[in-house]
């Protein structure tokens, strides 16, 4: 099973959470960013429906995959 970790960081004059180089919106306080990251972590663990996904990678190549609705990662938030 995959494990993902959200990290709380200073960003753009406030605080944000980050995952794999992507930042959330900016929050005014560390606590607000932490609460938002915890909410995102919980949502990430909820099962959903199996669906096809497509995305373009950094080299401009398209990928097509099936995302199983019951294949959810474990999550954590680091301060």
**Residue ranges per structural domain of the chain:** 3-78
Q: How far apart are CA 75 and CA 40, in angstroms?
A: 9
pTM metric for this prediction? 0.72
Assign 7 to helix, strand or coil.
Answer: strand
pLDDT at 76: 93
pLDDT at 34: 98
pLDDT at 69: 82
Q: How far apart are CA 42 and CA 63, in angstroms?
A: 27
pLDDT at 36: 98
Q: Which residues of the chain have pLDDT under 50?
A: none
pLDDT at 70: 84
pLDDT at 72: 83
pLDDT at 28: 98
Q: How far apart are CA 71 and CA 51, in angstroms?
A: 11
């Amino acid at each position: 099973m995959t494990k993902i970790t959200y990290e709380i960081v200073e960003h753009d004059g406030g605080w944000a959470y980050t995952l794999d180089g992507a930042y959330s919106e900016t929050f005014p306080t560390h606590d607000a960013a932490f609460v938002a990251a915890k909410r995102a972590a919980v949502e990430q663990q909820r099962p959903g429906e199996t669906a096809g996904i497509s995305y373009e990678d950094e080299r401009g190549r398209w990928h097509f995959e099936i995302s199983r609705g019951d294949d959810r990662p474990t999550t954590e938030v680091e301060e």
